[in-house]
Amino acid sequence: MRLAAFSTADIDSAFTHGLPVLHRPAGATTQPGRPDAAHARAITAWIAEASALALSGAAAGVVTCPIAKSSLAQAGLAHAGHTEYLAELTAHAAHAGPRGPVMMLVGGGLRVALATIHEPLSAVPSLLSAARIRKVAQVSA
């Protein structure tokens, strides 16, 4: 399958031609492997747009890629990462049952929901409990 850029108006037919990707320029020159706080506003806008599209039903879900959290912090974003930012953006959405945020990693047939996110490894043992693991499992179900 090839990668192709589509507008939201063309999205219904996009899957027959490739993987639909909304084209959203960074607004500043990018250099692979060189995070830059100049991109933080564009990154957060993309995450907010993806969230809004999913909440409206225009998108079936949101897939994120790794982001340079340091450049977002330099730009003043108050969240440890996009997982917490997505939690804020979706806090008003109707939802029955436990809420996240829960970070899930997916690859092949494997899905892994993390019981802790953005915590130092040394802190993890004290943060784990049966109740926390149960909540993550319920949110991820």
Distance CA 4, CA 23 (A): 9
What's the count of helices (H) and strands (E) in the chain, helices before strands? 6, 4
61-120 residue pLDDT tens:
888 878 888 888 888 888 878 888 999 999 999 888 888 888 888 889 999 999 998 889
- Decide: residue 105, CB within 10 A, 0-12 exposed, 13-18 middle, 19+ buried: exposed
C-alpha span between 52 and 88 (Å, rounded): 12
The whole-number average pLDDT for the span 1-17 is: 66
Mean pLDDT of the chain: 84
Asked whether 115 and 132 are in contact (CB, 8 A), the reply is yes
pLDDT score recorded for residue 125:
95
Rounded Cα–Cα distance for residues 40 and 6 (Å): 23
What is the DSSP secondary structure assignment for residue 76, as one 8-state letter?
T
Q: Model pTM? A: 0.75
